[in-house]
């Protein structure tokens, strides 16, 4: 389960800022997500295929890399878990920055980079309580 984190202060105006990251969900703007997602400064792409860090493949980053971000943040769930070295090398080989951290840290870092108007994409794994839950509320 993700560590509870709520953001009360907002220094910039973005509907795609992470407002909370807790209880197996992430709140972006007013929308709550309970499944893995990709978050960009322009859009939320819900239901990203991998649910756990062990499931991540290079193909899961094809869409992300096609958007040509400056940096990709990978949130690996409630704990930091590094992806295979081949995946990291593949992403870094494109000239794109790549940082791996737990999902709560990735959300905080995303908000900072978003406020700096950086071209950041966060690929966030959310550990759901049940796969039967709806992806969004």
User: pLDDT of 109-130, one tens digit each?
Assistant: 999 999 999 999 999 999 754 4
Q: What is the mean pLDDT of residues 88-113?
A: 97
pTM: 0.84
CATH of residue 114: 3.40.1230.10
Residue 73 lies in a domain: yes
Residue 133 lies in a domain: no
Q: Looking at residue 14, what is its pLDDT?
A: 66
Q: Where are the beta strands (DSSP E) in 23-65?
A: 25-28, 31-33, 37-39, 44-45
Q: Looking at residue 15, what is its pLDDT?
A: 73
Per the structure, how many domains does the chain have?
Answer: 1
112: CB partners within 8 A, 6+ apart: none
- Lowest-confidence region among 15-19, 37-41, 116-120: 15-19
Enclosing domain of residue 99? 18-124
Residue 11 lies in a domain: no
């Amino acid at each position: 389960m993700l560590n509870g984190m709520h953001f009360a202060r907002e220094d910039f105006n973005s509907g795609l800022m992470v407002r909370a990251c807790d209880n197996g969900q992430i709140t972006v703007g007013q929308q709550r997500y309970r499944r893995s997602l990709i978050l960009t400064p322009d859009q939320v792409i819900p239901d990203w295929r991998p649910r756990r860090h062990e499931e991540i493949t290079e193909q899961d980053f094809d869409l992300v890399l096609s958007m040509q971000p400056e940096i990709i943040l990978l949130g690996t769930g409630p704990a930091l878990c590094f992806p295979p070295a081949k995946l990291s090398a593949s992403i870094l080989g494109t000239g794109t920055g790549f940082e791996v951290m737990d999902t709560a840290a990735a959300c905080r870092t995303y908000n900072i980079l978003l406020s700096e108007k950086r071209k950041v994409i966060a690929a966030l794994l959310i550990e759901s309580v049940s796969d039967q839950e709806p992806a969004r509320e």
